[in-house]
Amino acid sequence: MSSRNIITKILSLELEEKILNGATVLAFICVFMPWVGGEWLGGKTVTFNGLGFFTSFIGLFILLVLVFILLITIIPITGGPKVIHPQYKNSVRLLLSVLATLFTIAIWSVLTKFTFEFSRLKIHFGLYGTLMGSLVASLYSFILMQEGKKNEVNRLFSHDDELQHSPHYQAPDQGVPEDHRKYR
């Protein structure tokens, strides 16, 4: 598949899909940015990203979750099979993005406590970017899930209207109205 065709498919995504995937890419990139840094014991200056320090396992989990969210969109665009059934796609993305957000908040709380104990360490922009990207991805995956539910309900209740407006539908003959006065 040519790169021009892939770019065209990416540009043809809905706005919510673009924002969701853009926020996920932002959070993914920010995992590699500095999360905590400053002056360590003994005067040595250190900087740790999401895959460094003692929170690296949670950072790795966040990275894998973000990659899976991106793969749900990227693999079908590139011509591969659908990773998740379309019915569950938005629910899975919501669950994964909320997990990434919660684990980012967990890391933030651990690092905040740690920086209080060692006053020369500070939390850096990578953690903020990961949190913001995960929050936006959670919000837009929720919006897409609700939109999918709305479309499902509309499909369920609009079936009769489509049937009546189709050219093959004919209303039953009503005949002559019955005269109810004759029974009095």
Span 51-93, pLDDT tens digits = 887 888 999 999 999 999 999 999 989 888 888 888 899 999 9
Write out pLDDT tens, residues 2-60. 778 888 888 888 899 999 999 999 999 999 999 888 887 777 888 888 888 788 899 99
Q: Where are the domains of the chain?
A: 3-156
| pTM: predicted TM-score of the whole model, two decimal places | 0.78
Q: Which two tokens stand for residue 151?
A: 């479309």
Give the burial class of 151: count Cβ atoms within 10 A of its Cβ; 0-12 exposed, 13-18 middle, 19 or more buried: exposed
The H-or-E segment that residue 17 falls in is: helix 15-31
Q: What is the CATH number of domain 3-156?
A: 1.20.140
Cβ pair 43, 156 in contact under 8 A: no
Residues 6 or more apart whose CB falls under 8 angstroms from that of 88 comprise none
Give the integer Cα–Cα distance in Å for 101 and 149.
Answer: 23
Nearest to 55 by CA among 104, 124, 96: 104
Residue 115 has pLDDT above 80, yes or no: no
Contact 14, 59 (CB under 8 A): no
CB neighbourhood size of 27 (10 A): 30
Q: What is the mean pLDDT of the chain?
A: 85
